[in-house]
A and B are shown apart, each in its own frame.
Chain A
């Protein structure tokens, strides 16, 4: 069965703290894709990153970094030096054959 688990329902941090959002997935596919999306309070979903199952290189984009580990079926997302504008719900997603599976989301509150 395909499944994405984001165990952290809600996280609160103070500005400038680092925060890691966890994502664990299940799939029987050998080829799959993993995504992170951000949903700010305004509601629209914003694509952040895509990773394919053959590329376990970690990626850094500004204050954002992603750690993909197939051995533990995890695709964690770290925000360094968090800012108030990072406050949002973050969704991890898995793309299997013809379908997308989303986690339930982690609500991140960054307080000034």
Chain B
């Protein structure tokens, strides 16, 4: 079974630009989560999508947005990039039924976003 895949592996941008990160969940998983892991910090919850809808978001400004496609893959968009957006962005997927029961999330390898 293929795991959660994220692309690109690395992304280098400059301040003010826009970045798009992509995630493909495990086959059969309908929920996709996005997290930010900044250097020296823990994982911060960004967004949760399920069945194409945004279910919840963490304490991040509106320039962090995303969407989920009919095939359950997802994009994370970050507009007006700032230096502090440099981080590892992790995507995870789970079955929604399991999520309601607190099921485990399966993580991808992440996209390293560097802002110059």
Q: Are B102 and A98 in contact (CB under 8 A)?
A: no
- Among the interface residues B43, B55, B56, B90, which one has the most CB atoms of the partner chain A within 10 A? B43
Binds A, one of B10-18, B19-27, B69-77, B103-111: B103-111
- Interface of B, secondary structure class, is strand
In this complex, how many residues of chain A approach chain B with their Cβ under 8 Å: the count is 24
Q: Which of A32-63 contact B (CB under 8 A)?
A: 32-33, 35, 37, 42-47, 50, 52
The chain A residue sitting closest to B103, CB to CB, is: A50
CA distance A47 to B110 in the complex (A): 15
Q: Chain A 23-39, CB within 8 Å of chain B: the 1/0 string?
A: 00000000011010100
In terms of DSSP, what is the predominant structure of the interface of chain A? strand
Query: Which of B41, B42, B55 has the most chain A CB atoms closer than 10 A to its own CB?
Result: B42
User: Which residues of chain A are within 8 angstroms of B92 by Cβ–Cβ distance?
Assistant: 45
Contact with B along A63-81 (1 / 0, CB 8 A): 0000000000000000000
Binary contact readout B44-70 vs A (1 if CB under 8 angstroms, 0 otherwise): 110010000001101000000000000
Cβ-defined contact, B104 with A35, below 8 A: yes
Q: Select B107's contact among A44, A50, A98, A101, beta carbons within 8 Å.
A: A44
Residues of A whose CB lies within 8 Å of any CB of B are 6, 32-33, 35, 37, 42-47, 50, 52, 91, 93, 95, 98-105
